[in-house]
Amino acid sequence: MRPETEPLPVPLLREITTLLAKDFRLEWRQKSALGGLLLYVGSTVFVCFLSFSLRGGQPPAPAWNALLWVILLFAAINAVAKGFMQESPGQRLYYYTLVRPQAIILAKMLYNALLLMAVALLGLFLYTVFLGNPIQDAPLFVANLLLGAVGFATTLTLVSGIAAKAGGNGATLMAVLGFPVMVPMLLLLIKVSKNALDGLDRSVSDQSLLTLLALNMLVGALSYVLFPYLWRG
Amino acid sequence: MTSAKIIGSVLGLVFTVAGVWGGQRLIEQRSPGLFWKALTVLLLVGGSAAGFLVSVPPLPIVNESIRNLFFHVPMWFSMIMVLLVSVWYSIQYLRNPSPRLDTLAHESAKTGIVLGLLGLATGSLWAKFTWGAWWTPDPRLNGAAVAMLIYGAYLVLRGSFRDDQQRARVSAIYNIFAFAAVVPLLFILPRLSGPSLHPGQTGNPGFSQYDLDDTMRKLFYPVVIGWILFAFWLTQVSSRYAFLQSKHDEN
């Protein structure tokens, strides 16, 4: 963190938007990374389609649900993993001198959330095209999906920062650190999406959705508080 | 909420805060601390013996396995307590870094993991004789297993650093983050995720409904205190060993 005496002419929001624009620009320039991610989702869905077509068509609803979340989980790990890891130590030092660490973590979380929301929606689209659409309450399902994408982003952003610090086998370490931490969120997400699949009354999912929101906020706040310590090294 | 429940929660909070504060004093204690260690031995040995001998309410299916209350539950209580101590050391480390605080946080977390594994083992044994299976996909059980995975990841993370300072800082951050994930796993999700067979869960009677004449309660609370003191003792010994080892490595 910067010493308090130094004036900070740029407000936090401006720093965040600048960093966000930088991330999008980088993503756009390195289209291979984005393309790889989309191809990853597409080919996984296609493999699922092929393996279920052996058994004659659409999977049963619980399998449909579980498979969708597994695909999204792995896509999210891959998408978020490259965020901090592709930056060199020199680059990090450069950002450190320019902006507040809070701006970096917030911008990264926002960017990952937007990216994962896009990936989740695209994944759902491909998935329903290939494996059928048993969803009975579509608005709730999509809302839950987006909430899940935001949750994945908030949780995995800090974890990817931690894994990047460890160096070496970053992606493996990220899976080891990230999966168990995400289980509470994942359990709630799968439960709500099962409710939406079966078209249960919305009031059944109320409490789980609220808990999900609270978990998201808790994780976001913790990342905001803890990231400056991680960044200092 | 009745006033008895409010008083109970406040007492629990006070007990937890006092436990974390006192636990740190006991773990870092330099004197032999004969009194509280003698008390620990007395409570653990006496409590275990009494746990097997004291008369318990005769119940169908559960039968004598209700005695697990004196072993399984105190293990989880002491795990939570020592993990809280570990988190508090990690917070202190981030505010004021020193290798000492890092070692203390690490050793407390290790004690917590040992107690958690013991809790899983005793629970599994109990489940075999009352539910007929070593493991069931019960929300409570899954939460406990995932909590152990999270702390396993903490140990893996510690192993993947070369630089001591870096390891200390990053693992302190993960420790705090992990504990925040464990709390909903153990205390919030099992209450939300539908039917559970675990006693005291979703309308299943806990021991308090059966314990009409308070005999179990009178033994349960001392045993809990004994196990918590034992957790602090274990941490004290292992952190002393770690300090000696690092001193030895320096020379």
pLDDT of B53 reads 84
pLDDT of B236 reads 94
CB contact under 8 A, B181 and A168: no
Cα maximum dimension of chain A? 69
CB contact under 8 A, B156 and A211: no
Q: Where are the alpha helices (DSSP H) in B131-214?
A: 139-159, 164-183, 189-192, 207-210
> Tens digits of per-residue pLDDT, A15-37?
888 888 888 888 888 777 788 88
The residue-averaged pLDDT of A176-189 equals 87
CB contact under 8 A, A211 and B149: no
pLDDT band (50, 70, 90) for residue A5: low
Q: Compare all CA atoms of chain B with the CA of A205 and give the residue at the minimum distance.
A: B192
> Tens digits of per-residue pLDDT, A50-106?
888 887 777 888 888 988 999 999 899 888 887 777 777 787 788 878 888 888 889
Tell whether the model's pLDDT for residue A8 goes beyond 70. no
CB contact under 8 A, A233 and B146: no
CB contact under 8 A, B192 and A222: no
pTM for the model: 0.85
| Residue of A181, A218, A229 lying closest to B150 (CB–CB) | A181
Find chain A residues with C-beta within 8 A of B180's C-beta.
218-219, 222
- Answer whether A226's CB lies under 8 Å from B177's CB: yes
Name the minimum distance, in Å, from the CA of B227 to any CA of chain A: 27
- Could you tell me if B180 lies within 8 Å of chain A, comparing CB atoms? yes
User: What angle (nearest 5°) sits at the alpha carbon of residue B250, between those of residues B245 and B251?
Assistant: 105
- Answer whether B23's CB lies under 8 Å from B225's CB: no
pLDDT of A147 reads 92
Give residue A89's identity as a one-letter amino acid code: P
pLDDT of B221 reads 87
Summary mean pLDDT of chain A? 85
Whole-number Å distance between alpha carbons of A68 and A127? 8
Please, is B100 exposed, middle or buried when counting C-beta atoms within 10 Å of its C-beta (0-12, 13-18, 19+)?
Answer: middle
Interface of A with B in 130-159 (CB under 8 A): 158-159
Residue whose tokens read 């006693």 = B199
- Could you tell me if B170 lies within 8 Å of chain A, comparing CB atoms? yes
Q: Could you tell me how far CA A204 lies from the centroid of its own chain? A: 26
Give residue A119's identity as a one-letter amino acid code: V
Dihedral of CA atoms B76, B78, B82, B88 in degrees, nearest 10, equals 90
> End-to-end distance of chain A based on CA atoms, in angstroms?
11
> Tens digits of per-residue pLDDT, A132-146?
888 888 899 999 999
Give residue A106's identity as a one-letter amino acid code: L
pLDDT of B63 reads 72
Which ipTM did the prediction report?
0.81
% of chain A surpassing 90 pLDDT: 21
Name the minimum distance, in Å, from the CA of B3 to any CA of chain A: 25
Whole-number Å distance between alpha carbons of A220 and A148? 13
Q: Which two tokens stand for residue B108?
A: 């407390």
- Answer whether A28's CB lies under 8 Å from A87's CB: no
To probe the interface with B, which of A77, A181, A218, A222 has the most B CB atoms within 10 Å? A181
| Residue of A177, A211, A233 lying closest to B153 (CB–CB) | A177
Residues in chain A: 233
Residue B53 CA: distances (Å) to CA of A53, B36, B40, B43, B71: 61, 25, 19, 15, 13
Does residue A195 sit in helix, strand or coil? helix
Does residue B36 sit in helix, strand or coil? helix
Closest to A65 measured CA to CA, from A154, A131, A150? A131
Whole-number Å distance between alpha carbons of B106 and B246? 14
CB contact under 8 A, B189 and A208: no
pLDDT of B79 reads 93
With a cut of 70, which residues of chain B have pLDDT below it?
Answer: 1, 193-195, 200-213
Name the minimum distance, in Å, from the CA of A143 to any CA of chain B: 20
Inter-chain Cβ pairs, chain A and chain B, closer than 8 A:
80
Does residue A41 sit in helix, strand or coil? helix
To probe the interface with A, which of B157, B171, B191 has the most A CB atoms within 10 Å? B157
The HSE-up count of residue A176 (CA atoms within 13 Å, CB side) is: 19
pLDDT of A117 reads 94
Name the minimum distance, in Å, from the CA of A103 to any CA of chain B: 18
